[in-house]
Amino acid sequence: MEFFATQLLNGLTSGVVYAMLAVGYSLVYGILQQINFAHGYVYMFGAFTTAAFITGGAPLPIAIGGGIAVGVIIIIIVERFAYRPVRGNRLAPTVTAVGVGLIIENVARLIWGSQIRPLPFPLQNEIIDLGPFVISPLQIVVGAVGVLMAAGLWFITAKTNIGRAMRAVKDDLPTAELMGIPVNRVVVFVYVLGAIFGVIGGILYGAYYNTISVTMGFAGTLNAFTATVIGGIGSVWGAFAGGLLLGVVQSMVTGYVSSALLNTVTFVLLVGFLLLRPTGIAGTKVANRL
């Protein structure tokens, strides 16, 4: 029972990271019906930037802010010069996103190399013994950040003018533009919001496992896309649920079978949901989601 509880907590912690990554996919798809496959690479670059700031002696808030800022700058450039010119085409943005992801990964490789690096973070070596299971303060931090980010996202989408503009663009982009809504600004905001979620998720992942690598961009893309499909492409709250479920399943497979099967299990879940329940656990039409 103790081992099961530990694996469950580990899975939920990883699931929060996957959920935050999956939000970026769902936000973009919910508005533009496009999958941003470069999203995971932005999350990787932001985590590396944060680690570089920390290693250089910067205070933690500045390091995290620097990582987020770099991620935001990257996605703004990518949206303006790679995505916007092909907006409206279903296939071209996907191919462009794959190419952009490879460029970001290779730039990171040139700057930091291919070796695995640590991401020093407070609370990494502390634990709290609760009897039947052990929990770390860092796990509590990850969970708390996930809850706060989810609450913030709900407030933005439900209670603000930019949230109403996002819903208008999602429902009918050309009509929203005719009504005077600054569509390009709204789209950039959506990408920026997704990048913020992704970079914070990447920082938490690197902090929790104390390891980052340039290949984590592909792994993050795969896991976040799978979580999005499980929850329902275009459903933000489904993405959160899908991320948590994926994290728990991977943790149980690691604990009870073998970590070598992680990618296999992820692909099985992805294909299984695409074949058996393509709308995801939310179970509604993706065209009407945000």
What pLDDT shows up at residue 286? 46
Angle at Cα 218 formed by Cα 217 and Cα 220, nearest 5°? 65
Question: Which amino acid appears at position 110 of this protein?
Answer: L
Distance, C-alpha 140 to centroid of its chain: 19
Could you give all domains of the chain from N- to C-terminal order, each with its CATH number?
A: 10-123+140-288 (1.10.3470)
Q: What is the pLDDT of residue 233?
A: 79
pLDDT in tens, the chain (290 residues): 778 888 888 899 999 999 998 888 888 887 777 878 888 899 999 999 999 999 999 999 999 999 999 999 999 999 999 998 988 777 788 889 889 999 999 999 999 999 999 998 888 878 887 776 778 899 999 999 999 998 999 899 889 999 999 989 888 888 988 889 999 999 999 999 999 999 999 999 999 889 999 999 888 888 888 998 998 877 888 888 999 999 999 999 999 998 888 888 888 999 999 898 888 887 555 444 44
Alpha helices in 79-172 (DSSP H): 92-112, 137-159, 161-171
pLDDT of residue 290: 46
